[in-house]
């Protein structure tokens, strides 16, 4: 497989820069008239795939909502990953994993190894056990043409306690940016070590000039961010940003056409890269 950074660049140039989240909140299942059980989860998630996987560049299923239903939920997640990819979308599996290196290698096998039932195109990772602890996942992703999005500055206000703390005159978040930049140095058109920076964080103080990698920007819609906030947070780095929205799109279901139209509407408000 070609490197993730290259595949993402192509997908965004063809389909536009939106990452649509598949977050089957129990409240959304109810709002769609579905039972809050594994069968409702399946209907919800596969409706999202039917509506969006043929049109949207990146789909981001949030693993927790599937795990909540145990093994039947995980089976649904496997189908979401496979069917979304079959329809041409890239799948970013939102698992926010981070562990000591030897265990991280097992998470890497689960999500980034060829042939694993849950292998996606990319995953979200948490570097707050130390960026270096993620090496087994970053290395495997590089070997298999997959990508990672490492949490740098998250959209929740509590994140600032850790992420904006200073260490050696730079914020912890900037240290994560610099680590990712080192991994991406020399890659063309774009490296495969991405970052997560919330669209809601305001003035981040981050220097993104050398990142040379994709930036996932959740917080669009339900968390209050729009185009103006994206411009404030990212300025000149906006061309590498993949804005993400979940609930603000999903509330338009269960009608497939209405859901698809909502996703396309959001996509078409975003700046073309």
Ligand X SMILES: O=C(O)c1cc(=O)[nH]c(=O)n1[C@@H]1O[C@H](COP(=O)(O)O)[C@@H](O)[C@H]1O
Residue 63 touches ligand X, criterion: CB under 6 A:
no
CA distance 35 to 48: 16
What letters, b where the CB count within 10 A reaches 16 and e where it falls short, cover 97-107? bbbeeeebeeb
Asked if 210 is an active-site residue, the reply is no
Neighbours of 203 (CB within 10 A): 7
CA distance 35 to 44: 10
Distance of CA 214 to the CA centre of its chain: 10
User: Which member of 60, 96, 210, 257 is catalytic?
Assistant: 96
Interface residues for ligand X in 2-61 (CB under 6 A)?
21, 23
Exactly one of 9, 49, 58, 94 binds ligand X (CB under 6 A); that residue is 94
CA-wise closest residue to 178 among 147, 142, 122, 132 = 132
Query: At its nearest, how many Å lie between ligand X and the CB of residue 76?
Result: 16
Q: Are strands 215-218 and 170-171 parallel, antiparallel or unpaired?
A: unpaired
Residue 254 touches ligand X, criterion: CB under 6 A:
no
Peptide bond into 189 cis (omega under 30): yes
Query: At its nearest, how many Å lie between ligand X and the CB of residue 218?
Result: 3
Exactly one of 5, 147, 221, 254 binds ligand X (CB under 6 A); that residue is 221
Exactly one of 105, 162, 222, 237 binds ligand X (CB under 6 A); that residue is 222
Alpha-carbon torsion, ordered 228, 230, 233, 239, to 10 deg: -130
CA distance 174 to 258: 40
Exactly one of 155, 171, 174, 184 binds ligand X (CB under 6 A); that residue is 155
Query: At its nearest, how many Å lie between ligand X and the CB of residue 235?
Result: 19
Residue 62 touches ligand X, criterion: CB under 6 A:
yes
Stretch touching ligand X by CB under 6 A, among 5-13, 97-105, 127-135, 239-247: 239-247
Stretch touching ligand X by CB under 6 A, among 46-54, 78-86, 112-120, 221-229: 221-229
Peptide bond into 190 cis (omega under 30): no
- Which tokens sit at 216? 């996932």
Exactly one of 198, 214, 243, 254 binds ligand X (CB under 6 A); that residue is 198
Query: At its nearest, how many Å lie between ligand X and the CB of residue 198?
Result: 4
Residue 193 touches ligand X, criterion: CB under 6 A:
no
Catalytic positions: 96
> Which residue ranges make up the site for ligand X (CB under 6 A)?
21, 23, 62, 94, 96, 124, 154-155, 196, 198, 218-219, 221-223, 244-248
């Amino acid at each position: 497989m070609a490197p993730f950074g290259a595949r993402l660049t192509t997908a965004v140039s063809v389909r536009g820069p939106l990452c649509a989240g598949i977050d089957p909140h129990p409240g959304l299942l109810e709002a769609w008239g579905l039972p809050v059980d594994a069968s409702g989860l399946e209907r919800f998630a596969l409706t999202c795939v039917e509506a969006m996987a043929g049109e949207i560049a990146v789909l981001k299923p949030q693993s927790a909502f599937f795990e909540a239903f145990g093994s039947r939920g995980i089976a649904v997640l496997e189908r979401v990953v496979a069917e979304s990819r079959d329809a041409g979308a890239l799948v970013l599996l939102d698992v926010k994993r981070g562990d000591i290196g030897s265990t991280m290698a097992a998470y890497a096998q689960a999500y980034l190894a060829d042939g694993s039932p849950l292998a996606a195109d990319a995953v979200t990772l948490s570097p707050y056990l130390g960026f270096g602890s993620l090496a087994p996942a970053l290395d495997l992703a590089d070997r298999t043409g997959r990508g990672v999005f490492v949490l740098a500055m998250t959209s929740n206000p509590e994140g600032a306690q850790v992420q904006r703390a200073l260490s050696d005159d730079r914020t912890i978040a900037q240290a994560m940016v610099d680590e990712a930049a080192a991994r991406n140095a020399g890659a063309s058109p774009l490296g495969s070590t991405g970052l997560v920076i919330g669209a809601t964080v305001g003035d981040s103080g981050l220097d993104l000039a050398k990142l040379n990698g994709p930036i996932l920007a959740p917080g669009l819609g339900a968390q209050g961010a729009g185009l103006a906030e994206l411009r404030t947070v990212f300025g000149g780095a906006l061309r590498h940003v993949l804005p993400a929205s979940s609930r603000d799109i999903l509330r338009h279901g269960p009608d497939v056409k209405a859901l698809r139209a909502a996703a396309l509407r959001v996509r078409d408000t975003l700046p073309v890269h």
